[in-house]
Amino acid sequence: MSERKPVTVPELRARKSSGPRITMLTAYDASMAASLAAGGVDCLLVGDSLGMVVQGGTSTVPVTVAEIAYHTRAVARAAGPTLVIADLPYLSYATLPQALDSAQQLIQAGAQMVKLEGGGWTAPIVAALAERDVPVCAHLGLTPQSVHKFGGFRVQGRDAAAAERIRVEGLALAEAGAEMVVLECVPSALARQITAELPIPTIGIGAGPDCDGQVLVCYDFLGMSTGVRPRFVKNFLSGRDSVQAAAAAYCAAVRDGSFPGPEHGYA
């Protein structure tokens, strides 16, 4: 593979208008990070999803900043030109002092951006981090840290009031200085509308084909899902002989628009 230039935050913002679509996968260790980077993935997300897919928990809620920092250091050592994003865990950014301390730990561990979940209440936190030159990726729709409030992992934004709330929150987070926003498990039509209105890239997962990029959990895209497989998942390792080849196929499919298809979204 020819040497790639490092992916940067300004480049990701520019992709909103110039393309190509942004490719993102989760990674939790150096070996996986190296294979995904070799396959051409733009961004590696050290997600608090590790609480479920690595630690075997039933939610992401128990994950700590120290655990995310540990895995971020491992991923960053092997990420090469990919941009590393690290999740701020549950209640690690509930106040500004908490957010600054948590973000400092993750950036110093090797992340180039942090991701946080939540709507309007997070806008002042996003603004404060952005003012201090910490790049932030927001996360709306199905926010897994809110699993207890939602009563499970459920599609969000199906009724008019909920859809409008998510749309308005997206605009507020962009205004606050977020660099990107993940839209998880929202109707495809809503994701299309938000993507058209926001000045920052949208990254979809179960949000249809019209976002500016896509993200999947690495084990899901390798066909290693346990339990019920979400409808937005596709096994990219099937028919291929390496994780690198699967990552390259995923990147090609996202960029040419063949993934996700209509069958991977929600009405």
CATH number at residue 180: 3.20.20.60
Known catalytic residue at 184: yes
Is residue 145 domain-resident? yes
Confidence of residue 228 (pLDDT cuts 50, 70, 90): confident
In a domain, 228, yes or no: yes
| Residue 209 pLDDT exceeds 50 | yes
Q: How many CA within 13 A on the CB side of residue 188?
A: 13
Task: Mark 155-192 as b/e (b = at least 16 C-beta within 10 Å).
Answer: bbbeeeebbebbbebbebbbebbbbbbbbbbbbbebbb
Mind giving me the DSSP string for 35-100?
HHHHTT-SEEEE-TTHHHHTT--SSSTT--HHHHHHHHHHHHHH-TTSEEEEE--TTSSSSHHHHH
What is the number of structural domains in the chain? 1
Contact 135, 112 (CB under 8 A): yes
Query: 224 pLDDT band (50/70/90 cuts)?
Result: very high
Q: 2 - beta bridge partners?
A: none
Range with the poorest average pLDDT among 144-148, 182-186, 193-197, 215-219 = 144-148
With a cut of 50, say whether residue 1 has pLDDT above it. Answer: no
Domain assignment of residue 38, given as a range: 9-264
User: Among residues 175, 184, 197, 263, which one is catalytic?
Assistant: 184
2 within some domain: no
pLDDT tens column, 38-54: 999 999 999 999 999 99
pTM over 0.85: yes
> In the prediction, which pLDDT does 190 show?
98
